[in-house]
Amino acid sequence: MHSYAAAHHKTIMAVDIAGYNDPKRTTAHRLVIHDGFWKLMRAAFADTGIPWDTLFRENTGDGVMIHLPAEVAKADLVAELPDRMLAELRRYNEVHAAEANVCLRVALHAGEVYQGSNGTISDANSHAFRLLDAAEVKKALKESKALLALVVSDTFYRDVVRADPAADAPSYHRIPIENKETKTEAWLRLLGAVTNGVPLFAPASPAPSDLPALVEALLAVPCVRKTESRQLLLELFPRREIADLVPHHAEDRLQVIALARTCLRFDGGLAALLAAVRTVEPESPQVVALAAIIDQWPERPTR
């Protein structure tokens, strides 16, 4: 019998802030970057509907290592999350000085992870960081002037990226990786790149309608905006298969975004949400306005 705990298969995400220790950055810049990085990560995950508070996170100083639980679909990480991260990067960089601007390198891999007494032990962890820190990835990010470089292992590309049309497999290209004892091939996608001064926008997953407007309309309804009544709303939700998947967030806006995105994953999800809202709060002007948005929302496309 082994004296150590069994390994668990995990999806591994490694993220690094490019040039974090650049001499042009002062300590004040790095403090702003550090705070902004964690905020944009939380917002991107929330907008994708992935429950941030349930993730294993290890702060690496200039980035983070994340282990994602089995219930998080790997396809979401490549079909939606990169574009959400790109959007948050653009919002952050727009309002900060150049010395505090952020570009990210992100690596995705999957494998067995052991839990040690003071952290995790895993060859898969090491492989993800070998991809993240590879000179080929750093060079591509710098030369392209992209905001985000996403590199995935060859197995992750074959098993996850190619399997989902929404992941946009043609936007990746194969690159050789040589980093320390690791010699392999991986797949790279650059987001927010610039060629001859013209931004190259990576194809995003098409939104069926105006998600921000839906979120604002939900937040305008008191029973949705308030934490206590929102919990009652979820208890009264007519479809448990939807309500049980809504991740918890301490911040009201993030929780409402997660609620909306979860409902959008199901046929009739928004209609079920409106029914629950009307049970708690009959036809107020705010509910009428919410109903108008939901009534005009296009039907969820069949996959």
pLDDT tens column, 241-294: 888 888 788 888 888 998 998 888 888 889 999 999 999 988 788 899 899 999
| Domain residue limits, the chain | 8-200, 211-295
pLDDT at 206: 36
pLDDT at 118: 60
Q: In the numeric block, which tokens belong to residue 142?
A: 């710098």
pLDDT at 113: 74
- Distance between CA atoms of 135 and 205, rounded to whole angstroms? 30
- Distance between CA atoms of 11 and 22, rounded to whole angstroms? 30
In the predicted model, is pLDDT for residue 109 greater than 80? Answer: yes
Q: Work out the burial of residue 136: count CB atoms within 10 Å of its CB; fewer than 13 is exposed, 13-18 middle, 19 or more buried.
A: middle
Report yes or no on whether pTM surpasses 0.75. no
CATH T-level topology, domain 8-200: Alpha-Beta Plaits (3.30.70)
Average pLDDT over residues 208-214: 76
In the predicted model, is pLDDT for residue 151 greater than 90? Answer: yes
pLDDT tens column, 156-207: 999 999 888 888 888 899 999 988 888 899 999 999 986 544 455 443 333 4
DSSP string, 27-58: HHHHHHHHHHHHHHHHHHHHHHT--GGGSEEE
Average pLDDT over residues 125-152: 92
Residues 85, 90, 95, 96: what is their CA dihedral angle, to the nearest 10 degrees? 70
Mean confidence (pLDDT) of the chain:
85
pLDDT tens column, 38-87: 999 999 998 888 888 888 898 988 999 998 877 777 877 888 899 999 99
